Amino acid sequence: MDIGFIGLGNMGAHMARRLVEAGHHVVVYDTRPEAISNLAARGAVAARSPAEVADKAETVMASLPTPDIVLAVATGPHGVIEGKRVRRFVDLSTTGAVMAQQIFKLLAARNIVQIDSPVSGGVRGAERGTLAVMVSGPRAEIATAEPALSAIGKVFFISERPGAGQTMKLANNVLSATAMAATSEAMVMGVKAGLDPRIMLEVINAGTGRNTATEDKFTRAVLPGTFDLGFTAGLMMKDVMLCLAEAKALGVPMNIIEAVARLLALTCDELGAEADLTAVVQPIEARAGVKVRAPQN
């Protein structure tokens, strides 16, 4: 099928590539010409704006970093909303339910259906096509887009209600952030007490404390000191703050997540928002005077 794809960053480039490799006709756009060229070399068709993408495909997907960028790309000047052919906008980004509902209404006025479809699984999941794809929107429209969505991961239908997929994504991401924050504190404590971090992870992963940070992130990015998970602390901070705002609106207390937000804010202040998410361990290390490292032999 004809697919438009906007946003060729760490996640989007892999998802667009998988669509091309699955045999779809993919029209791509990014603000970086080199990102477009990389996909064009694999068989995608280059476009000069989101509107041009939406001129050439009934289904337009987007993987973008922030809610305001998604809003501009979807509904702003030269945006998807101006496309002549587009019928559905599949948003793979994390925007929060409020923004998703706003975009849904704006696009609906032009007879364009938004399918809320945030993803989880990281850069590795995007590369391998194993993402969790959380869709909400009209079932018939989701069914039309599902052959393309299935090329990037496993599709989970959340609800027909606009924004429901975003709520699901935020719940997932704050758990991921919490695992990273709590594991950082526990690992630094153990190393400060003289424990071997590799043995610590082996024990934790054989016991009840195992989580995504102990099973993957620490071994892959913290112990070797590479800090190259591919997802920034700034983006996770954005997701956590969106979740806190939604929880406040719903009247749900989130004391633990507020503490996680403080560590993320500290990381962004001291290391920069572009620091890798796994770098949240570094402010804790600095204050404890130890580093959780065990380079490969």
* Residues labelled catalytic: 169
> Residue by residue, what is the 3-state secondary structure of the chain?
CEEEEECCCCCHHHHHHHHHHCCCEEEEECCCHHHHHHHHCCCCEECCCHHHHHHHCCEEEECCCCHHHHHHHHHCCCCHHHCCCCCEEEECCCCCHHHHHHHHHHHHCCCCEEEECCEECHHHHHHHCCEEEEEECCHHHHHHHHHHHCCCEEEEEEECCCCHHHHHHHHHHHHHHHHHHHHHHHHHHHHHCCCCHHHHHHHHHHCCCCCHHHHHHHHHHHCCCCCCCCCEHHHHHHHHHHHHHHHHHHCCCCHHHHHHHHHHHHHHHHHCCCCEHHHHHHHHHHHHCCCCCCCCC
* Cα–Cα distance measured from residue 218 to residue 208, given in angstroms and rounded to the nearest whole number: 17
Question: Cβ(229)–Cβ(278) under 8 Å?
Answer: yes
Amino acid in the structure at residue 172: N
